[in-house]
A and B are shown apart, each in its own frame.
Chain A
Amino acid sequence: SQQGEEDPQALSIQEGENATMNCSYKTSINNLQWYRQNSGRGLVHLILIRSNEREKHSGRLRVTLDTSKKSSSLLITASRAADTASYFCAVLGGGFKTIFGAGTRLFVKA
């Protein structure tokens, strides 16, 4: 399969709650990135974490990377209705190809 696995596939939470999405991949990587996509729109790059990093923060986003388990997580704290979107992890592997996970559809209820 070209894609990694993401869970959950869909997540519905109340505004103000935290949202955690997980991603697993199969190959060795140079870096892992998280993207956001609103329905029918292009990708918005959220954060990049390199293979030698374990944790990274950007505003309300926190990303962790465990290369021994080939997994990453994205935490969105204090979620807002505007955070409603699909979130994808993507890994940069050999040949500089970016391979996307299946994605998590997040719905934040106001």
Chain B
Amino acid sequence: GAVVSQHPSRVICKSGTSVKIECRSLDFQATTMFWYRQFPKQSLMLMATSNEGSKATYEQGVEKDKFLINHASLTLSTLTVTSAHPEDSSFYICSAGGGKGTDTQYFGPGTRLTVL
């Protein structure tokens, strides 16, 4: 099956710094990628839809200036958490689609962000 990678898998940062998380589709081109966040013992909440070559579409309640998304190529989307605060600590998961069947999403392994 298709593979989606995320980097880093785990990051710890100080409050006020910015953190960039990469999501790559390794063996297919993804016209669309999605970013989710998951708090402990909760479900995945869709944050935004990242479209290659255009602006991301954010879900209601997600601050676009706080969570910057760049989908510069068909295999890479990045999520930057700007001026991170402890409440941004979460598990961030990306998924990619538009490759092998437009109704199939392939999920990355997730990135654990801890903001001190």
Contacts and interface: CB of A to CB of B under 8 A. Distances in A.
Interface in B81-116: 91, 93, 95, 97-98, 102-105, 107-110, 112
Contacts of A43: 44, 93, 107, 110
Interface residues of A, number: 23
Interface of A: 2-3, 30-31, 35, 40-43, 45, 48, 88, 92, 95-103, 105
Interface string B32-68: 1010100001111110010000000101000000000
B112 A42 contact: no
Most chain A CB inside 10 Å of its own CB: which residue of B43, B102, B104, B109: B43
Interface in B1-54: 32, 34, 36, 41-46, 49
Nearest to B112: A40
Contacts of A99: 46
17 contacts: A2-B46, A30-B103, A31-B103, A40-B91, A41-B110, A42-B109, A42-B110, A43-B107, A88-B43, A92-B103, A92-B105, A96-B103, A96-B105, A100-B45, A100-B46, A103-B42, A105-B41
A2 B34 CA distance: 15
Given A88-B44, A97-B34, 4 more contacts: A3-B45, A42-B109, A92-B103, A96-B97
Nearest to B10: A40
B76 to A, nearest CB: 18
Nearest to B98: A96
A48 to B, nearest CB: 7
A100 B43 contact: yes
Contact of B107 (A30, A40, A45, A101): A45
Contacts of A103: 42-43
